[in-house]
Chain A
Amino acid sequence: KAGVTQTPRYLIKTRGQQVTLSCSPISGHRSVSWYQQTPGQGLQFLFEYFSETQRNKGNFPGRFSGRQFSNSRSEMNVSTLELGDSALYLCASSSLLLPIAEQETQYFGPGTRLLVL
């Protein structure tokens, strides 16, 4: 079974531009979460999607947005990029959201490394 895939793996943008990152979850997984990882702030939760709906959201400005498609693939978008947006963006998927959360495991992708100049 293929793992979580993220594209592109590396990206260089300049301040003020916008960027779209893509995440394809493991086949059959319907929940996708996004995290930002930086040396200063560590790993921070961005948002979670399930069945094309945002279920949870972290404390990030409105410049950060996302969506999920009917095939569970997800994209996140960052508009008006700032230098501080340089980070590794990780996507994680989990299976059908079951009543018994103990059965769930999140699988992380390799991440997209974004550099803003």
Chain B
Amino acid sequence: AQSVTQPDIHITVSEGASLELRCNYSYGATPYLFWYVQSPGQGLQLLLKYFSGDTLVQGIKGFEAEFKRSQSSFNLRKPSVHWSDAAEYFCAVGGRSPLNAGGTSYGKLTFGQGTILTVHP
């Protein structure tokens, strides 16, 4: 069964400091990996995704993530955090799900428990 672990429930950083949010996954085949962000009272917004190829993935808002197969990790990084980055961050894993009608889907995502990011001025 697939699973995702985000070891840090809550992280606090100062504005302008660098950030790394950890994510470890368990998946039997080649995983599809995602990072989402959720602001209070909002839905999820996709920051970036990894399917294959270059293991360093660039996303929106200056975020990047690195896929390390040997460590089963997909950590999210940002060189300089802004106050507006305060939110909850979710790592998710999915996989190709062949459909009878053709095509594939990765709709069945498994999410980590989330990491709440607080940014101090």
In this assembly, does B63 line the interface, its C-beta being within 8 Å of a C-beta of chain A?
no
Where the two chains meet, the residues of B that have a C-beta atom closer than 8 Å to any C-beta of A are 32, 36, 41-46, 49, 51-52, 90, 92, 96-97, 99, 101-114
In angstroms, Cα B14 to Cα A25, docked, is: 38
Residues of A within 8 A of B (CB): 4, 31, 33, 35, 42-45, 48, 50-51, 53, 55-56, 58, 90, 92, 94, 96-99, 101-102, 104-111
* Total of A-B residue pairs, C-beta within 8 Å: 84
B107→A111 contact, CB < 8 A = no
**Cβ–Cβ contact A104 & B99, under 8 A:** no
Chain B residues contacting A90 (CB-CB under 8 Å) are 43-44
Q: List 15 A-B contacts (CB under 8 A).
A: A33-B108, A45-B110, A48-B105, A48-B108, A56-B105, A98-B104, A99-B102, A101-B32, A101-B104, A101-B105, A102-B52, A106-B109, A108-B36, A110-B41, A111-B42
Residues of B with C-beta under 8 A to A111: 42-43
